[in-house]
Structure 1
Amino acid sequence: MNSRRHFMTKAVGGLIFCGCGLSAGAHGQQAGAREAGRPARLPVTVDGRRVKTIDVHSHCLFREATDLLGEQGAKALVPPINNASEAYLVIDQRLKAMDGQAIDMEVLSINPFWYGKDRDLGEKIVTIQNEKLAQLVASKPDRFAAFASLTLQDPALAVTQLETAMTKQGLKGAAIGDQVAGDEFSNPKFDPVWRKAEELGAVLFIHPEGVPELNKRWKGNGWLVNTIGNPLATTIALQHLIFDGSLDKFPGLKLLAAHGGGYLASYAPRSDHACTVAPTFCNPNIKLKKKPTAYLDQIYFDSLVFTPEALRHLAAQVGTSQIMLGSDYPYIWELHPVDPIFETASFSDKERAAILGGNAAKLLAMKSAT
């Protein structure tokens, strides 16, 4: 991973010697389109070389699974927001959208809506989804990969599901929420799942489900339950995994955090001071092997932070080797997810290519270029 000092040295050097704010190699087909006010298009090139763009944060639903919730339950999964209906994936429609976003491949995931259901219903939902995802990936292996669903309310069952997903269904890991019905992921009851993920090399994509304890405060303008709540939920989940010692137990665990990891990377150094300032609020029986910010080396982050400056800051904190392209499609937070990566002046061409697809290809054991 690039150190923060190394990153800032490169950033300053890039600004001094390029002057224009973009490296010379980026001024090809893609850069020219952006300068003319047009978003990047396929094929994406960096310094004249073809780059396979891999979106690690994209979603779908399958009616066969959501129908198990009944009409009202299924309807609740598609909120009245722009483009949400496209979560029910229509292949040709999705491929057209991907082409428009300059995305070669989506890594699909399904946000967990079954953790609060009984175990048997959860198993049925997950079985359908994983089978459908496996079929889709097998039919379009050049355009889609996927994270499995897990019935985490039953950790023993989740272990079996994860093994099947990785060894028989061709999936790349699992998408998980930020907690399970009030139980934090650092609860030892989930350790068998994390142990199996570490053993299999499975990537666990943490996607938040909000902080329902704060529902009263989310009321008002601005869709705060999502605007603030979702990044906060991810931050809480990651901090528990760090402070409660889970990442010491499983140092090989591969975590990928949605929305740039929430607020963790924005204010990570505060974590290093908490137990020094107020040791009575820290468990004396938990002896972390590293300072809290050092665990960021074990976490990967999507690029969905919207602006070049926010992306530059994320990279300065965690290193460009830990960041990969994310859009949140079909929820249209970022319709042109490739562009901020090109527009971040401090990135070298090599770093751009890595974030656009190389890092994901390495993490998920896929081909990085066509």
Structure 2
Amino acid sequence: MSTAPTVDVHAHILLPEIEALVSGLPGHDAAKELDARRNGPAALAVSGPMVRERILKLTDVTVRLKSMDAQGVDVQLVSPSPSHYHYWVDEETAEKVYRTANEATAAHCSAVPDRLRGLGLVPLQHPDLAVRALDHALEQGLAGVEISSHAPGRELSDPAYEPFWTRAEETGAILFLHPFGCTLDERLDRWYLSNTVGQPVENAVALSHLIFSGVLDRHPGLKVIAAHGGGYLPTHIGRSDHAWSARSDAGAGCAHLPSSYLKRLYFDSLVHDPHVLRELVRAAGADRVLLGSDFPFDMGAEDPVGALRAARLPEDDFDAVRGRNAAALLDLTLI
């Protein structure tokens, strides 16, 4: 039997102090209106009460630990709620946001450092601040930072992020790619399509930018974890491979078949379908998939280990995804 802990790499914390920082600032109302348009009134009516019901799990360490124990999770990698990105704020406010997020997340995790590791934030809308924000997160003892799939007017392939990728590679920082908001906007404003379709789309687009632009060629040591199993990309990567082989424009930016880069990335297991999870493990490799629950939101897995077990992976693969891979990535002491 393995001695590796069970590690959930997709768990969130809510930080009211960040919302207090941005409330009332120019642009705040417009950002809220955009979010409302993208999600639609029915989704907002459900999401508000859902979050309120989970406030203690999102903020109270004792309640978090009880929930982890009930799930059979030994360690969580805790990242701020993506609602805290606020990529619309100016540079001065952005620095306050990332410092507050990094320090508050570190304080939350430091209460039980053997069970909680943390990630900070980086203001992608201001690339010149990205390295400083990453360094600040690492100085707090965090394992890395969480980023969205894009910032307004900038894709992850933007050359302005090159210093950030360089620094992340140098330091071995973990980059947790977790989208917030889909640019398909009102096309997804009913039936919670903004999340069910939007999140997988954003994951696939962001990863494609990293792959096709050559970011992963230039920075092969990057430690990127894609939330939601990487979205649609891993199970539809054959289309990318075909384009790379058949078209000069598609193949101009990266050196190898797009599918080969899946084995340079990490993916959480949160795909909500055992057959899709098996295909993710096949496409990326059992050593590249990590247990993820999206704790404690309603689009997460209440029993992440049970969801993993439902995929009926070989025992060694099951154990790798359950915790061995993440324990190695986070340099956890085996327990």
The 2-side partners of 1:70 and 1:340 are apart by 38
Q: Is the contact made by 2:200 and 2:230 (CA closer than 8 Å) also made in structure 1?
A: yes
Bigger relative CO (Cα 8 Å, ≥ 6 apart): 1
Q: Name structure 1 gaps, 5 residues minimum.
A: 1-46
AA aligned opposite 1:269: G
Aligned equivalent of 2:39: none
Say which of 18, 24, 27 aligns to 1:65.
18
Normalized against structure 2, the TM-score is what? 0.88
Q: CA deviation at 1:173?
A: 0.9
Q: Aligned-pair distance for 1:283?
A: 7.0
**Partner SS, residue 224 of structure 2:** strand
Query: What's the offset of the Cα at 1:312?
Result: 0.9
Shift of 1:69: 2.2
Task: Report sequence identity in percent.
Answer: 37
Q: Deviations over 1:287-310 (max 9, x none)?
A: x22111111111000000123222
Match of 1:232 among 186, 196, 201: 201
Counterpart in the other structure of 1:175 = 146
Which residue in the other structure is 1:307 paired with? 273
Tell me, in whole angstroms, the C-alpha distance in 2 between the residues paired with 1:157 and 1:196: 12
Q: Which residue of 1 aligns with 2:173?
A: 202
Cα distance between partner residues in 1 of 2:301 and 2:267? 16
Q: Which one has the largest radius of gyration?
A: 1
Q: CA deviation at 1:255?
A: 0.7
Query: Any conservation in 1 of the 2:245–2:251 contact (CA below 8 Å)?
Result: no
* Rounded Cα–Cα distance in structure 2 between residues aligned with 1:363 and 1:269: 28
Is 1:106 equivalent to 2:86 in the alignment?
A: no
Moved more, 68-77 or 289-298: 68-77
> 1:313-366: per-residue Cα shift (whole Å, max 9, x none)?
111111110001100012132100011222322322x22221111101111222
In 1, the alpha carbon distance for the partners of 2:297 and 2:331 equals 27
Q: Secondary structure at the match of 2:76?
A: strand
| Distance 1:71-1:95 versus aligned 2 partners, 3 A rule | farther
Q: Secondary structure at the match of 1:68?
A: helix
- CA deviation digits over 1:163-208, x for unaligned, max 9? 2322x21111110000011300110001100100000001110001
For residue 102 of structure 2, the aligned residue among 130, 148, 168 is 130
Name the TM-score, length of structure 1 as normaliser: 0.80
Aligned residues of 2:124 and 2:150 also touching (Cα < 8 A): no
Paired residues in the alignment total: 315
Q: Distance in 2 between matches of 1:71 and 1:58?
A: 28
The aligned amino acid for 2:295 is: Y
Query: What is the root-mean-square deviation of aligned Cα atoms in Å?
Result: 2.2
> Which is further off, 222-231 or 86-95?
86-95
- Secondary structure of the residue aligned to 1:148 is strand
Q: Does 1:331 align with 2:297?
A: yes
Measure, in 2, the Cα distance between the counterparts of 1:315 and 1:282.
26
Per the alignment, residue 249 of structure 1 pairs with 218
Match of 1:338, SS?
helix
1:215 counterpart residue number: 185
1:259 equivalent in structure 2: 228
The Cα offsets for residues 18-60 of structure 1, whole Å up to 9 and x where unpaired, read as xxxxxxxxxxxxxxxxxxxxxxxxxxxxx4x554111100111
Residue among 312, 320, 326 paired with 1:345:
312
